[in-house]
Structure 1
Amino acid sequence: MATRNPTTIDERGACNKVAPTQRPKASCSNPDHLRMNGPGNLKGHLQSPARSLVEIHQAFRILVSANDLRRILPRPVWFSASPWHFAKNSSWSLNMQYDRTDARILEIVQKNNRLTSEVIGEMAGLSATACQRRLKRLRSEGIIEADVSIVSAKAVGRPIQMLVLVTLERERSDIIDRFKKAIKASAEVVNGFYVTGDADFVLYLTARTMEDYEQFTRRFFYENSDIKGFKTLVVMDRVKAGFAIPIEIPDEE
């Protein structure tokens, strides 16, 4: 009986086939669903056409296991069962790393993180000391990533805001890593996202003037041989801006 080729996953989550002795048989009806856009390209695999969630489930299980996903995904986003197990409301079943009191604290500090521990504790039904302990744990575990102030770009002389869709010349791990480092090192890039779809990255930038942005494009895009092209979308009106996310309340035990 033919055996499937073993598959490993590196620290970036890329899938690498080992020992090309025989191609694994797909349990879905269309083997093309397993085809990737180059070795180790998990993003390309996820974009392949599939006719149902069952086929996606079957194809993906050949590449990764639940234990592999536990290493790839950041806490607290760990799947509590099979990586393709759906809860009753069709949302992922998550292994929560916080309780209902933590959830209440997170809701409060997302709206205003300048409140004292006494005020937060009173709103969450805790003493100030207990509230401080919980806040310290939430920060140390990375659930609270940062405590920052949102500055108005217009007020500090950078009224021009853009979304830029960037396409790389080749989707190779070293090229992707190089561009990620360039994004992190650029003061003009406020946010950067590695995405699926036609573009590889989406960037949010600010500039003093369009001439200022043109100089940035020459330096950041045109002089970078790894970039195939980019498309600029100028923001006409910032309708909503913020970092607050909906907090799912864990079930009572």
Structure 2
Amino acid sequence: MTDLDATDLRLMAALQRDGRMTNAELADKVHLSASACHRRVQRLEKLGVIGGYVAIVNARNIGLSTTVFVEITLSGQADELLDAFERAVRLIPDVLECHLMAGSADYLLKVVARDTEDFARIHRQHLARLPGVAQMQSSFALRTVRSTTALPI
């Protein structure tokens, strides 16, 4: 981890809340000159601490109202099998997240769909065809209680 001071943390916290603010607005919020603010943000980007900027689209408002968490257990743990699975899952646009797990499942996927029928299509066309899958269990989210992309800085 790189050396981050309190000003760097304030910069990151402010950008997590509003990544569209101007450099002048950001500088004002963290009590820096505009040039010093710009240099610090560039440094954080160059170090990879800030990985990018995105618009967070409301899935429900574009018709993707169903979130499904899929636990996948593979038939083995050989590197070739894990690599093949990970390559294949990266190609499924409906999979928002894929995590290699320690515990009862090998992988946990977060999948979005329009509805249960759409998820059945995703399952049939993509998930069921993933290499090395021995077992799959899907859990449908009934309601999202908390969702954030902001890290606790």
Query: If the TM-score is normalised by the length of the shorter chain, which range does it land in?
Result: over 0.9
Relative to structure 1, the CA distance from residue 178 to residue 225 in structure 2 (aligned partners, 3 Å threshold; closer, same or farther) is closer
Amino acid at match of 1:189: V
Counterpart residue number, 2:79: 173
- The whole-number CA distance in structure 1 between the counterparts of 2:53 and 2:146 is 19
Instruction: Determine if the alignment matches structure 1 residue 160 to structure 2 residue 43.
Output: no
Counterpart residue number, 1:89: none
Which of 183, 195, 198 is the matching residue for 2:104? 198
Counterpart mapping for 1:141-152 below 5 A: 141-152=47-58
Number of residue equivalences? 153
Amino acid at match of 2:66: I
Instruction: Determine if the alignment matches structure 1 residue 124 to structure 2 residue 30.
Output: yes
- The whole-number CA distance in structure 2 between the counterparts of 1:170 and 1:187 is 25
Q: What are the superposed Cα offsets for residues 118-153 of structure 1, whole Å, 9 maximum, x if unpaired?
A: 111111121111111111111111111121111111
Give the drift of 1:222.
Answer: 2.2
Gapped regions of structure 2 (runs ≥ 5):
none
What fraction of aligned residue pairs are identical, expressed as a percent? Answer: 28
| Greater helix fraction, Structure 1 or Structure 2 | 2
Report which stretch shifted further, 143-152 or 216-225: 216-225
Instruction: Determine if the alignment matches structure 1 residue 189 to structure 2 residue 95.
Output: yes
Q: What are the superposed Cα offsets for residues 45-98 of structure 1, whole Å, 9 maximum, x if unpaired?
A: xxxxxxxxxxxxxxxxxxxxxxxxxxxxxxx2xxxxxxxxxxxxxxxxxxx432
Relative to structure 1, the CA distance from residue 183 to residue 146 in structure 2 (aligned partners, 3 Å threshold; closer, same or farther) is farther
**Which runs of at least 4 in structure 1 moved beyond 3 Å after TM superposition?**
none
TM-score by length of 2: 0.94
Counterpart residue number, 2:123: 217
Q: What are the superposed Cα offsets for residues 198-218 of structure 1, whole Å, 9 maximum, x if unpaired?
A: 111111111112121112112
Larger relative contact order (CA 8 Å, sep ≥ 6): 2
Q: Which has the larger radius of gyration?
A: 1
